[in-house]
Amino acid sequence: MAISATRNRALFPSSFDPFGRPAFLRWHSKVHTMRVKRRQLDSSGSSFTLGFEEDKAVRLIGMLDSPYVRRVAISLRIQDIAFSHESLSVFSDFDAFASINPVVKSPSFVTDDGTVLMDSSLILEFAERLGGLSSSLVPKDLREHARAQRIIGLALAACEKTVQIVYEHNFRPSEKRHGPWLDRVQGQLLSAYGLLEKEVLRADPWLFADRLLQADITSAVAFRFTCEMLPHILDRQTYPALSGLSRRAEESEAFRAYPFR
């Protein structure tokens, strides 16, 4: 990746690098190792072109049929953070997963010094600091940030309720299922998507910018997940705005790189 810029100051200031990342991340972070591949200065010394080669020093563990794993993988791709993906199941690969993270929680994220992070939101918070300001996936404006957090919260609630319904049907014997509880969870699921649909009506084509941000990513990932897992409950035609957002997102390079499977 080549980036050009014109500066009238020192080439690498002490506080931030050309990407807006804190300088210590650029030069000293063991988590995100980057090497200067080439540097070209013109005769005036005022402009430069930098190419960075990123080592895949961090690891994402989990399967892409999990919306939590998939939202992290897509986000890292969009933020141009190099990582390796290890598709391990918390069920069929339990022992292998446990050897990486004894808690066996998906997704797990391993830094190159062996630190294991869990929970997709916490991993993405770390990625925001790792990627720097120029690749941030959250709006800068405070009001827009609050709305983005609301949208992400609705999408994650929908994911949670989808998982509860799937687990109830797949892992609990039919004679032990509690109908009123399932009805309550399904009601919560549909309420979350009803509210999310109203928020997504404003997307043109994305919610906050001219590119995918975290609110778009998580909404699209959640909607695809529920449509795949609970097609008898969630009707795409009932949610035209979400269906449109999902279609546009799934056509993007980052989503195609990490498809639902």
Same domain, 45 and 72: no
CA–CA distance, 15 with 30 (Å, rounded to integer) = 18
DSSP summary character for residue 174: G
- How confident is the model at residue 40, as a pLDDT? 29
- Cβ atoms of 245 and 223 within 8 Å: the answer is yes
Same domain, 42 and 129: no
Name which of 60, 179, 172, 51 is nearest 110 in CA terms.
Answer: 60
Same domain, 35 and 13: yes
Q: What are the pLDDT digits (tens) for 184-233?
A: 999 999 999 999 999 999 999 999 999 999 999 999 999 999 999 999 99
Q: What are the pLDDT digits (tens) for 2-19?
A: 333 333 333 333 333 433
246: left (phi over 0), alpha (psi -120 to 50) or beta: alpha
| Number of domains observed in the structure of the chain | 3
- Its domain, for residue 237, covers 142-257
Same domain, 72 and 129: yes
- Mean pLDDT over each residue of the chain, to the nearest integer: 83
